[in-house]
Structure 1
Amino acid sequence: MRNARKRPLDEDSSSSSSKMNLNKKHPHSSSRSLDYPIESNHVASHHDSHHPISSKRLKFTSYTEVSTLTPKLKILCEIIANTPAATVERVLEDTGIRVSQQNVEEVLTLSYGFPVPAVKFFRWSSFQLNDKHSPYSWNLVVDILGKNCLFDAMWDAIKSMRKEMLLSLSTFASVFSSYAISHRVQEAILSFEVMDQYGVPRDVAALNSLLHAITREGKTAVAKDYADVMKDKIRFDSETYAILLEGAENEGDVGRAKQTFSNMVADIGWNPRNMAAYDSFLCTLLKGVDGMHEVLKFFDTMKDRACYPGMKFLKFAIDECVMKSDSKGAKVIWEEMVGKNICRPNNEMCRSLISLYCNLKDFESAEKLLDEMVFYGVFPDSETYNSIFHFSIKHRRIKNAIPIFKEMVKNEFAPMHQDCSAAVKAYIDGGDPHMAIKVWRYMTDTYSTDLDETGNLLVTGLRDMNRVPEAVKCAEDIIERGIKLNSATLTKLKQSLSKVGKASIYEELLRKWKYH
C-alpha cells in the first residue's frame, strides 16, 4: 500500500542546486535532535516526479493582503517570500527576532506560496521553541507541502509527527484534501486505508473527511462507490449521507441524489436533526426536469415525519419560484417553513416574494407579506418598499400606493425618481391632484435633475382639471427652482387665466419666467 503512495528516495529527480539539507544542526540547537519532516531531496522539486502537478492552481492568501499584520510577523513573511531557500535560516537568525508558537502558526498560514522557505522557517523556529511546536503548526506544514504537491515531503512530516505523537484526524483531513485537489483521488483513498497504522482511527469521522474531500472536487461518483465498499465495515452516520447528497447537489445529479436519499432513509431512518441532508436533496431535485413538482412530493413526505430542510433550501426554492413565476409553489413552501417557524426569512427572501406577487398582480399577498415581515424579525428596507410602490403605480393601484408612499417618506426611504414621475402622471390621470402635488413636492425636495418633463406634466394636468390656482402656484415654484417650464405650458395657462379675467397673473408669471 505504501509503495503505491511513496517512492524510494533514490527515485527523486530533484536537482542538486535546490536540495535542502534539513538534517544539518542549527548552531543554537540543543543536544537533542528532532527528526525533521523533510528529507533534503524531497523538498527540492515543486512536485513529485512520478505524477503531473495538479492542473488546478490554488489561490493562497498572501501576507500582503493582511493589513493588521504586526511589524515582526511582516518581516518574517517578507524573508520567507523573498529569500532563496538556501539562505533563509541565516537571514532569519540575523534578524534577532524571537518567536512564539502562535507567531509560527500565523507566519505559516500566510506562507503557503513558498513551501520550501516556509519549512526552513519552521525548522529555524524550532530551536527557539526547544522543538515544542504546536500540533497546529505541524498540521500547517503538512498542509503547505500537500497543497504544493510535495507529497513525499508531506509523508516525512507525518512520520515525524507520529514520533512526537501529534497526529490527528485533522492531519489526515489535510492529506485527503491535498490529494483530491491534485486529482489523485486513489491516493487519498490509500491514505485513508493506512491511517490506522499511524495511530489515527479509521472511523466514520475519518471516512466523512475523506468523502468530503473527494466530493468537493466533483468526484461524487467515486466517493459513492467507495462508500458502498466501506458500508459493511464502518457504520454510516447522518453526516456521511449529507456529504454524499451535497456532492450530488453540486453536480446536479438528480438520479444519484434519489438513490443516496433512499439508502439513507433505509439505513438510518428519519431524523429532524438531519437538516443538511434534506437541504441538499431538495435543492438537487429543484435542478431536475420536474423541479418543483418533485420537491413538493418529497416535501410532503418529510413534513409528515416532522423532518424539514433549512435556510439553504428555502432561499433556493424562493429563487426558483420567482424565476419561474410559480407563486403557488412559493406559498406552499413559505407557509410550511416560515409559517410554522421552521426558518426565519431575511429581507432578500421577502423582497423576492413580494416582487413575484406584484409581477403576477397578486397585490393582496404582497401587502400581506409586507405587513407580516415585522413578525418574522425583519423590517422592510428601501428596496422592499420601492418594489411594491413601483408595481402599485405600474398596475394603476394608485389608492393602495398612497399608504406605501407615506410610509416610505416617514422612514426616509426615497422612492425611485422614475417611480415618482410615473406616480405624478398616474395621480393626474386618476383625478387625484392632491397626491400628484404631494409626490411632486417630494421629488423637488429629493432630486435636483430630470424634473422638467414631470413638472410641465403636472402644471398642464392641473390646468386641464380646472385646478388653475394650483397650476399657477406649481408653475411659480418650478420657475423659482430653475426648472424649465415650457412655453407651451405657459400658453395653456395664459388661455385659462384670460378666460377668468386673470391676465395680470399670467403677465407676472411671464415676467418671472423671462427673468429666470
Structure 2
Amino acid sequence: MEGVNNRSPGRKATLKLERLENQFQSHLDAPEISSSARAICEILTRASPHGIESALNSTGISPSTELVCEVLKFCYHYPSSAVKFFRWAGKAHKHSAYAWNLMVDLLGKNQLFDPMWDAVRSMKQEDMLSIPTFVSIFGSYCNLARFDEAIMSFDVMDRYGVQQDVVAVNSLLSAICNEENQTERALEFFERIRTKILPDGDSFAILLEGWEKEGNVAQAIHTFGEMVTSIGWSPQNMSAYDTFLTTLVRGERVDEAIKFLGVMKGNSCLPGLRFFSTALVILIKQNNSPHAIALWDIMVSSGLLPDLTMYNTMIGLLCNNNDIDNAFRLLDEMPLNGAFPDSLTYNMIFQCLIKKKKVHELGKFFLEMIKNEMPPTHSNCAMAITMLFEGYDPEAAIEIWNYMIENDIKPFDVSANALLLGLCNLGRFSDIRRFADDMLDRRVSIYESTMTHLKDAFYREGRAARDKFDSIFRRWKHC
C-alpha cells in the first residue's frame, strides 16, 4: 500500500500487543463453540503447517459461511494457520464480507500488515469493502501506537472505493482517543479534516471524552465552544454535554459547570440524572458540600427526582460537613419526591446533631425517629447519652436508655457505662444504684474503669454512699 510502511514496533508497542493477545479467546475456553468449529480449531493449533490442508480435507466438514466466521473468532493466536484455513474454505464457498473483515482484523491485530492489505485488495476486487473494514485497520494501528499509519489508512480509503464520511472520521478519532494521552493527536487530525468533512455531535463527544480521560479542562472548554459554534444546541448531543460537565467537576471547576448548566437549561439541553449522579459522587469524594448542594438544587428544580440512595449519599455529605440545616431540608423534601427516608437517613442526621451538640434538637428528633419506627443505632444511643449529660439534659439521656432496654437495642454495654458515668458526674448516687442493679440483673458489662470512677465518687460522699458502692461492687465482682 502506498504511504504505509510495515515497520517494526518499539518495546512499548510489543508489550501492548502481548496484552492484546492475552485478550483473544481460544477455542479451549469457549464452551459455546460448535463441534465442527472445535474440530477445525484443533487441527489449526496442532497440525504442522504443511499438513493443515490435508487434515482439513480429511474431516469431511463443509466450511459454511457461519462456520468460517466461528473458527476465525477463535484463531487470533494462530494467524498463519487461520490464513491457510481461510484459503481452504474459500475453495468451497465465496467468503462473506463479515468473514473477510474478521480476517483483516486478525491479521492487523497480529501486526501482519502486508497480508492485511493484500486481503483489503482482494476485498476490493470482490466489492466487499466497507467502513467496518477500515475501522478494524484504524484500531490495529492505533493499538500499536502507529498513529501515522492509521491516518494514512483513512487518507487512502477513497482509492479503495470506500467513502470518507463522518462515520469514518469518528471511527478514527475514537481509535486514537482510546489510547492514553493521544487526544491532542486526534485533535490535529480533526482540525485537518473538518474543512472537508463536517463533524457531527459524535465527533465532538469523542474528543470531549478524551479530554475528560486526560483531565484537560482547558481543552475541553475550547472543544465544547467549538461544538456549540459548529453544530449548535441539541438534546441529541446529551452525552457530549454530560462528558464536558463531568470534566469540569472532576477538575474542581464546579462554578463554571454551574454557569454552563444555566446556559444549557436555557437551550433545553439540561443533562439527565446520570450526569448529576456522577457529579455528586465526584463532589462527595472531594468533600465539597457547598457545590454539591448547588448542583442538587439545580437537579431537583429541573424535575429530576433523586432516589433514596442519592438522598442518603447527599445527606451523608452534608452531615459530615455539619450542614444540618440543609440535611433537614432534604429530609423534609424526600416524601414530596417519592423517596422515603430509612434508618440510615435518620441515623446520619441524629449523629450530626450529636456532633454539633444540639441538645434540644436531638431530643425532639429522637421522638420523631421512634414515632416513625426508625430508632437510633446502639452506637448512636451511646454517643447521644454522653452528649446529653454534657449538655445538662440527663432526663433525655435516661429516656434514650430506657428506650434501648424496652426495645432491646443491643449491645447495651457502651450506653450503660455512659449512663452511669453521666449520673456519677451529677452526683445522682441513688439513680446509679438503681440502674446498676438493673444492669447487673441483665448481665450488662460494667467496665472496671467505670467502677473505679464510681468508687472515687461514692467514697468522697461518706459512709452511707460508701456502703452503697460496696453493695454494687460485691454484685459486680461475682457477675
TM-score, scaled relative to structure 2: 0.76
Q: Which residue of 2 aligns with 1:394?
A: 355
Shift of 1:226: 1.9
Does 2:460 correspond to 1:461? no
Per the alignment, do residues 377 and 130 of structure 1 end up closer, same or farther by CA in structure 2, a change over 3 Å counting? farther
Cα offset, 1:423, TM superposition = 2.7
1:472-487 matched pairs, under 5 angstroms:
472-473=434-435, 475-478=437-440, 480-481=442-443, 483-486=445-448, 487=451
1:351 is displaced (CA, Å) by 3.6
User: What is the alpha-carbon distance in structure 1 between the residues aligned to residue 421 and residue 254 of structure 2?
Assistant: 51
Q: Do residues 332 (structure 1) and 294 (structure 2) align?
A: yes
Aligned ranges for residues 249-398 of structure 1 at < 5 Å? Answer: 249-286=212-249, 291-311=253-273, 313-319=275-281, 321-322=283-284, 326-341=288-303, 343-345=304-306, 349-373=310-334, 384-397=345-358, 398=362
More off after superposition, 153-162 vs 74-83: 74-83
Between Structure 1 and Structure 2, how many residues are aligned?
Answer: 463
SS in 2 for 1:4: coil
Instruction: Report the CA distance between 1:207 and its aligned residue.
Output: 0.9
- On the 8 A contact 2:27/2:33 being kept in 1, the answer is no
- Structure 1 residue 133: deviation in Å? 6.1
Deviations along 1:165-196, one digit per CA (max 9) or x if unpaired, are 44432232222122112111111112112223
1:3 maps to 2
Change (3 A) 1:492 1:297: same
Counterpart residue identity of residue 169, structure 1: I
Shift of 1:125: 9.3
1:145 to 84, 107, 128: 107
CA distance in 2, matches of 1:196, 1:401: 73
Which residue of structure 1 lines up, in the alignment, with residue 198 of structure 2? Answer: 235
Report the 3-state secondary structure (helix = DSSP H, G, I; strand = E; otherwise coil) of the residue aligned with 2:2: helix
* Aligned: 1:203 with 2:203: no
Matched, 1:422 2:383: yes
Distance 1:50 1:385, change over 3 A: same
Structure 2 contact 68–86 (Cα < 8 Å) conserved:
no
Counterpart residue identity of residue 254, structure 2 = M
Distance 1:95 1:332 in 2: 70
Amino acid in structure 2 at the alignment position of 1:461: G
Counterpart position of 2:155:
193
State the secondary structure of the residue aligned to 2:235.
coil
Deviations along 1:292-347, whole A, 9 cap, x unmatched?
23323333322222222345542454345445555443333222233212x45455
TM superposition shift of 1:72: 5.5
Give the deviation of 1:377 after TM superposition.
5.8
Distance change in 2, residues 1:224/1:91 (3 Å): same
- Distance (Å, rounded) in 2 between the aligned partners of 1:145 and 1:359: 56
Give CA-to-partner distance per residue, 1:372-416, whole Å, 9 cap, x none.
Answer: 4455565656665554343232222323652675489649xx84x
Identity score, percent: 33
Partner of 1:513: 476
Shift of 1:506: 7.7
Rounded to whole Å, the distance in 2 between the matches of 1:390 and 1:344 is 26
- SS of 2:196's equivalent in the other structure is coil
Letter in 2 for 1:191: S
Per-residue CA shift, 1:237-269, capped at 9, x if unaligned?
A: 111122222222222333332332222222211
Displacement of 1:224 in angstroms is: 1.8
SS at the partner of 2:19? coil
Alpha-carbon spacing, 1:425–1:120, altered in 2? closer, same or farther (3 Å)? farther
CA contact (8 A) 2:429 2:465 kept: no
The equivalent of 1:226 in structure 2 is 189
Whole-angstrom distance in 2 between the partners of 1:408 and 1:99: 70
Q: Is the 8 A contact 1:472 1:493 kept in 2?
A: no
- SS of 1:240's partner is helix
Deviations 1:13-42 (CA, angstroms, capped at 9, x unpaired) = xxxxxxxxxxxxxxxxxxxxxxxxxxxxxx
Q: Which residue of 2 aligns with 1:178?
A: 140
CA change 1:389–1:148 in 2 (3 A) is farther
Shift of 1:420: 4.2
- Find the aligned partners of 1:185 and 1:326 in 2 and give their Cα distance: 40
Distance 2:430 2:62 in 1: 85
* RMSD, matched Cα: 4.6
192-201 vs 490-499, which moves further = 490-499
User: How many Å separate the matches in 2 of 1:376 and 1:297?
Assistant: 25
